[in-house]
Each structure stands twice: as structure tokens, then as C-alpha cells.
Amino acid sequence: MPRPTFTRSLLAPMHWPAWLGVGVIWLIAHLPRSWLMGLGRGLGWLVQRVPSPRRHIAEVNIGLCFPELSAKDQAELVDAHLRDIGLMMMEFALGWMGSERSIAKVPVTIEGLEHLETALAQGKGVLLVGGHFSHLELCARLVSQRIRISGMYRRMDSPVFEWAVLRARLDYAEAMFEKDDIRGTVKHLRNGGTLWYAPDQDMRSKDNVFVPFFGVPAATITATHHLARLSGARVIPFYHRRLPGNAGYALKLGAPLEQFPSKDTLEDTARVNVCIEDMVRAAPEQYLWVHKRFKTRPDGATSVY
């Protein structure tokens, strides 16, 4: 995939604040990892204590998804998640712009590569299905040290960040496809490619269906079913979590979903949500609870936010 083209228009004064932001991210990414994680914990301490509408969103989501927890335990999970956001910012910086030497020093274990190798040996593409966790960008880069992967992404509003981040991603990813590029992703999968994809956000798409997510009807995109149906790719759950302290990350490729896709789009989409639920339960504070996952509601249902 060609790297993004740099144009002189990106140097216009209106883009200077964005360039400053890119420079700060680059500097953070080149700190020693212990410093970087310490900075993230300090930033998380601040995020937890500064009033923000995002706290309310996290409280609603966690209350809906973990009704079995006491009010005290729910509040503790909200606080833990808000602290985790500080680490998320550092991990995005490291994932995007950290040097190969720095990435190679990050402790990581990867289980289940045999599932991917078997699929590729059969001439099948692989759709790695994951969720929006705080460390998703960094873990995608970590797994790319062992396997060739591509990804799907949403174009950034800032042309400077779009150029800088896409360029950085293409240093380790085989290709990056915009979220609406179904034709390109299907062709890639048919040719035996491996694509990382996270279908767990409320995309407000015409291809949404309502299926349970932690028992709550959630508007969920059906693209996993359609991509598998059109390409013949194997669908493999991709788990990743941050270990306590500075112990690094645990990555796991699950067994391919059996009889997927089926003829039932609704059932397949619900199965994908069950996989993501399992990922969340393994590290609940690391999931992106500040996203309005239940913003789109079934007809007649009131807003939860």
C-alpha cells in the first residue's frame, strides 16, 4: 500500500498546532518505557479527578453491563478505567511512533498463533476480531512483529494527524483500509491477508442490528458476517490485555469461530459480541467505557445517557 503523500498545504499556519501535537507525541514515544508508563499513571490520576462528561458515560455503561456489582464496586471500576485512560494515551504514542528498538523491548507473550498459521496454510484469509481496549494500537503493533497484519481505520479530522498516523501505521502494517472500503478489504482477505478489525462501537450505520452486549440491546455493525461471507476468511478472536506493573502484555489468538458465517446475520453478530464480552471480562478496566456504546436505541426506548 503506498504511503500517504506529503503536500505543501500541510505546512499552512492553520496546521501548526497539529504539528506541535505530533511533535509532542513523537517525544513521548521516545521516552524510556518506565518513564512513559509512569507519566501515563500520573495523567490517569489527573483524568480520574477532573470532572468530565466522560465519567457519566462510563458510569452508565458500567452500570448497564455489570448490574451484579455493588454501587461501590461499580464506582471503583469507573475510577480504574479513568486512570487507565492516562496509560492509553501513552500506549497510543508508543504504538504509533515508538522506534522498532523500543517496541522490541516491550515484554509480550502471544498464544494461539497455530490457529492463524493453520488458516493461512489452507489458503484462507484471517479476520482478527478484537475490541476497543486502551492498548489496541500498541498490541496491533506488537502482534505485527510475529505476523503480517492489516487494519481498518476511521480517517482523522486533522490532515496533519491523518498523514502522520497513517504513515506511522504503514511502517508496521501491510495495509490500512478505511472503514467503508469493503471492496478493498474483501480483496485483501481473499488473497490470504490478515486483517485486524474491531466491530464493537456504535457506528450509526444502516448495517446495524440490535443484539445483546452484556444483556443490553446494542446497535452492532454486521460487517464481520459480511466480510467473512464475501471473502471466505476465518474469523479468529484476538484477545489482548495489559499485565500488572510493567510486566507487559498478554496476547491471544483464539480458535476460529466454527460454522461462521452462518445464514443468520443476527446470530453471527451476536456471537461476535459474546467474544468481545469475554475479552472485556478478562480486563474490564482496560475497555473503552467512555464511548457511548448504547447511544442508538431500539424504537421507543429512551436515551440512557
**Owner of C-alpha cell 479530522:** 157
pLDDT tens profile 46-63: 999 999 999 999 999 999
**Integer Cα distance of 107 and 169 in angstroms:** 20
pLDDT at site 294: 96
66, containing H or E segment: none
Element (H, E) at 263: none
Amino acid 246: pLDDT: 86
> In this structure, which amino acid lies at residue 238?
F
| 239-270 pLDDT tens trace | 999 999 889 999 999 999 999 999 999 999 99
Question: SS3 breakdown of the chain: % helix, strand, coil, rounded to 5?
Answer: 50, 15, 35
Please give the model's pTM, rounded to 2 decimal places. 0.93
Q: What is the pLDDT of residue 206?
A: 73
C-beta of residue 173 within 8 angstroms of C-beta of residue 150: yes
Whether 179 has a pLDDT exceeding 80, the answer reads: yes
Evaluated on CA atoms 276, 165, 9, 181, the torsion sign reads negative
Kindly report the average pLDDT of the chain as a whole number. Answer: 95
Kindly indicate the confidence band of residue 2, based on its pLDDT and cuts at 50, 70 and 90.
confident
125 pLDDT tier (thresholds 50, 70, 90) = very high
**pLDDT of the residue at 245:** 86
CB-based contact 253:236 (threshold 8 Å)? yes
Q: What are phi and psi of 187, to 5 degrees?
A: -60, -40
Q: Inform me whether the pLDDT recorded for 1 exceeds 80.
A: no
- Grid cell, residue 110, equals 502471544
